[in-house]
Amino acid sequence: MKIQEVFLSLANAAATYNLGKSLGEFLPAGSVILLEGNLGSGKTTFVQGIGAGLGITETIDSPTFTLINEYFSGKIPLYHFDLYRLESSEIEALNLEIYWEGLEVPLGIVAIEWAEKLVYYPPNFLRVYFNFSNGGDTVDKTPHGRHVKLISIGKFDFDVDKI
């Protein structure tokens, strides 16, 4: 299995948005993005950027209470999930594979917030870890600001020079 890792520091929310936008401009249909990080770390902002990169004109909001928001106005569909409020059995019942396999819906980009709660994973995906630090953590010495780690798993591939 091929694994590629990239670490980035992001100055602010606009940089998080622009990173998502860059990815949205070139990710193909069938891409799965697994988003992890604390509340307020930038997951939804990142997905909003992906939507902009896809040319989606609708407002992209967190699907915390709706579980999934589907957007079809861009060059390919965007399926945005939020698993924050769900238990494992509820997540399994969502049958998420229909989205990343394109079985019952048009193949698009699948973005899943709180992906660490997933019961099963697709064979290929981009895991994005968000961290926000005020610089006061003496344990891990994380500098002040937003940080992101991108890890591609399987056949998922991205060009670091494009982001």
pLDDT tens by residue, 18-63: 999 999 999 999 999 999 988 888 899 999 999 999 999 999 988 8
Domain count, the chain: 1
DSSP-derived 3-state class of residue 145: strand
Beta carbons within 10 angstroms of residue 20's beta carbon: 30
φ/ψ region of 110 (left if φ > 0, alpha if ψ in -120 to 50, else beta) reads: beta
CATH number at residue 104: 3.40.50.300
DSSP state string for 75-133: SS-EEEEE-TT--HHHHHHT-THHHHTTSSS---EEEEETGGG-SS--SSEEEEEEEEE
Which residues are registered as beta bridge partners of 82?
Answer: 113
With 0-12 CB in 10 A as exposed, 13-18 as middle and 19+ as buried, what is 61? middle
Whether pLDDT at 103 is above 50: yes
27-31, 64-68, 137-141: least confident range: 137-141
Rounded Cα gap, residues 5 and 16, in angstroms: 17
pLDDT tens by residue, 121-138: 888 899 999 986 655 544
In sequence order, what are the residues at sequence separation of 6 or more whose Cβ sits closer than 8 angstroms to the Cβ of residue 82? Answer: 62, 63, 64, 67, 68, 112, 113, 114
**Which domain range does residue 34 map to?**
3-162
Phi/psi at 50 (nearest 5 deg)?
-55, -45
